[in-house]
Amino acid sequence: MKLHHRIILIILLFIGLAGCSSSAEIVTNVGELQFEQALKIPELIEPTIESDGTKHFDLTMEPGTTEFLPGKITDTWGINGSYLGPTIRVARGDNVSIDVENKLGETSTLHWHGMKLPAVMDGGPHQMIEAGETWSPHWTIDQPAATTWYHPHLHGKTGQHVYRGLAGMFIIDDEDSKKLPSNYGVDDIPLIVQDKLFTSDRQLSDNNDSSYGTLGDEILVNGTHDPFLEVTASQVRFRLLNGSNARAYNFGFTDGRSFELVANDAGLLNEPVTLDSFMLSPGERAEIVVQFEPGDETILRSYSGSAGIESGEFDLLKIVAASELTESSPISSELSTVPPIEVPKDAKVRQFNLTMENDINGKKMDMNRIDEVVPAGTTEIWEIHNFGPEHNFHIHDAAFRVLDVDGNEPKEYERGRKDTVFVPRGASVRIVVEFGDHSDTEYPLMYHCHLLKHEDEGMMGQFLLVEPGTESEVPMELPKDDNESHDH
């Protein structure tokens, strides 16, 4: 019976392949997977505690090889391993210090996406780590619980460095978040979703020809191809990160089950929202809590959407519930006590035009140019107007709330605290942005499209956060040689 099924599957596969070659538009892996690889859970890295209580972490960026398919070796990059990096987990109020050693053999950076911190610790394009060197940022965790992440941000090379495997999760806990399932790897599961294009000899293809950048036809979850997960608890929290260069995912389950959305990128929602699907564009995160009955089987699938970066249908992960499940207490109807970001009276409004040329307000990213000067600790309205196909928009050292999309209420799944927002083709998105309170007249922060090809091609701008009232005193040019220092 099993052999019989396999033969049918092989025939179907051949029909599928023939179909694929004639119509490149329909990209899918549905029906091709066996769900035979246990989902890898990135290691939770243990800090060393310094004498003043600071939690210290050591990260090493290094090349390696990874066996995504049995017997097939792929050249990859990783952090403390050959592909992806460990999960860092800290609590609000912690002081952290991190040594990032670069053993890649070329310059890179490591950016803390979603983190509120001084600009010089941000790991953006100005905090370059030369080959063989170590960069040592430190800061105090001062923001609500959130699923953040880290990845390189070297100007012009971010897409390549992330695609080869440099990324990891950075979880922040607080009193609110601990009320949700929090047992890492048991009922609190990270899911880093990435599409990949492999060459015939199973190397990562850097074909970047599409206008969106690399769109793969195979999926890795936490670096696992063909993954399954056995869950042992009746309620499981999944932290989803779209770690792809360009593809967006419309997440849902093949049995149509609903689930509770409990967090957007930058923190918990005030109350859970019951959904049966939601979309994440590159860089966005969401936390969901899914209820299981003993013996349940379902597949987390990405359904094809209308946008170019959403086309294709992909099985992501098969989830099987054990025959006996640990009973979890029901999740509270009050999740976060942090009030939603409000629009201040007389809020400053800034306009950002995303053009067909992949620039912002007619300008390509320039490492020496300051595009905006924002008073630290303030809240502004930013209006993002898309004059081209799909983009998204990410702001460093900031959290925002989506006010409207083309004048309409944002989708139910994007109404919480965020740091990255999808900007549909031709649409205008208005956000109310709460900026960090660290000022710095020397080191800028970034805002950019998180489709990494677009970012690398210059769809990025730089802003300084300065002492309120000093905005007009700040030079809009950075000194040519001083701004690429890495000795902080």
Closer to Cu ion at the Cβ: 285 or 391?
Answer: 391
Min dist. Cβ of residue 386 to Cu ion (A): 9
472 phi/psi in degrees, rounded to 5: -75, -10
Residue 337 CA to residue 467 CA, distance in Å, equals: 29
Stretch that binds Cu ion, among 228-236, 376-384, 425-433, 444-452 (CB under 5 A): 444-452
Q: Which two tokens stand for residue 380?
A: 């502004």
How far is the first Cα of the chain from the last one, in angstroms, to the nearest whole number? 63
Min dist. Cβ of residue 309 to Cu ion (A): 9
Residue type at position 115: M
Residue 453 CA to residue 451 CA, distance in Å, equals: 6
Q: Is 454 in the site for Cu ion (CB under 5 A)?
A: yes
Nearest CA among 411, 406, 385, 212 for reference residue 308:
212
Q: Which residues pair with 240 in a beta bridge?
A: 191, 286
Closer to Cu ion at the Cβ: 117 or 449?
Answer: 449
Length of the chain: 488
Min dist. Cβ of residue 153 to Cu ion (A): 15
Q: Is 452 in the site for Cu ion (CB under 5 A)?
A: no
Stretch that binds Cu ion, among 60-68, 261-269, 450-458, 469-477 (CB under 5 A): 450-458
Stretch that binds Cu ion, among 58-66, 92-100, 294-302, 389-397 (CB under 5 A): 389-397
Residue 321 CA to residue 260 CA, distance in Å, equals: 18
Task: Give the H/E segment covering residue 145.
Answer: none
Task: Give the H/E segment covering residue 279.
Answer: strand 278-280
DSSP state of 71: T
Number of chain positions touching Cu ion (CB under 5 A): 4
Closer to Cu ion at the Cβ: 100 or 248?
Answer: 248
Q: How far is CA 151 from CA 166, 168, 201, 225, 244, in A?
A: 6, 7, 27, 21, 11
Stretch that binds Cu ion, among 134-142, 164-172, 388-396, 431-439 (CB under 5 A): 388-396
Residue 348 CA to residue 336 CA, distance in Å, equals: 27
Min dist. Cβ of residue 43 to Cu ion (A): 32
Closer to Cu ion at the Cβ: 395 or 449?
Answer: 449
Residue 140 CA to residue 32 CA, distance in Å, equals: 46
Closer to Cu ion at the Cβ: 285 or 453?
Answer: 453
Q: Is 365 in the site for Cu ion (CB under 5 A)?
A: no
Q: Is 399 in the site for Cu ion (CB under 5 A)?
A: no
Cβ distance 31 to 12 under 8 Å?
Answer: yes
**β-strand pairing of 95-102 with 55-69:** parallel
Residue 81 CA to residue 65 CA, distance in Å, equals: 9
Task: Give the H/E segment covering residue 8.
Answer: helix 2-22
Residue 186 CA to residue 223 CA, distance in Å, equals: 18
160 phi/psi in degrees, rounded to 5: -65, -45
> Does the CA dihedral 91-451-425-312 come out positive or negative?
negative
Min dist. Cβ of residue 392 to Cu ion (A): 6
Min dist. Cβ of residue 196 to Cu ion (A): 20
Q: Is 391 in the site for Cu ion (CB under 5 A)?
A: yes
Closer to Cu ion at the Cβ: 144 or 213?
Answer: 213
Closer to Cu ion at the Cβ: 338 or 423?
Answer: 423
Residue 74 CA to residue 200 CA, distance in Å, equals: 11
Stretch that binds Cu ion, among 46-54, 287-295, 407-415, 445-453 (CB under 5 A): 445-453
Residue 313 CA to residue 285 CA, distance in Å, equals: 20
429-447 burial code (b ≥16 CB/10 A, e <16): bbbbbbbbebbbbebbbbb
Q: Write the CB contacts of 177 (distance below 8 Å, at least 6 apart in sequence).
A: 145, 268
Binds Cu ion by CB under 5 A, chosen from 119, 421, 449, 460: 449
Closer to Cu ion at the Cβ: 174 or 456?
Answer: 456
Min dist. Cβ of residue 348 to Cu ion (A): 25
Q: Is 451 in the site for Cu ion (CB under 5 A)?
A: yes
Q: Is 247 in the site for Cu ion (CB under 5 A)?
A: no
Stretch that binds Cu ion, among 58-66, 97-105, 318-326, 451-459 (CB under 5 A): 451-459
Stretch that binds Cu ion, among 49-57, 308-316, 364-372, 454-462 (CB under 5 A): 454-462
Closer to Cu ion at the Cβ: 84 or 449?
Answer: 449
Closer to Cu ion at the Cβ: 393 or 413?
Answer: 393
Min dist. Cβ of residue 414 to Cu ion (A): 17
- Give the contact letters, 404-443, x = binds to Cu ion (CB under 5 A), - = no: ----------------------------------------
Cβ distance 189 to 233 under 8 Å?
Answer: no
Closer to Cu ion at the Cβ: 14 or 387?
Answer: 387
Stretch that binds Cu ion, among 107-115, 260-268, 387-395, 404-412 (CB under 5 A): 387-395
Stretch that binds Cu ion, among 23-31, 39-47, 179-187, 449-457 (CB under 5 A): 449-457
Min dist. Cβ of residue 459 to Cu ion (A): 5
Min dist. Cβ of residue 463 to Cu ion (A): 18
User: Contact positions toward Cu ion, by CB under 5 A?
Assistant: 391, 449, 451, 454
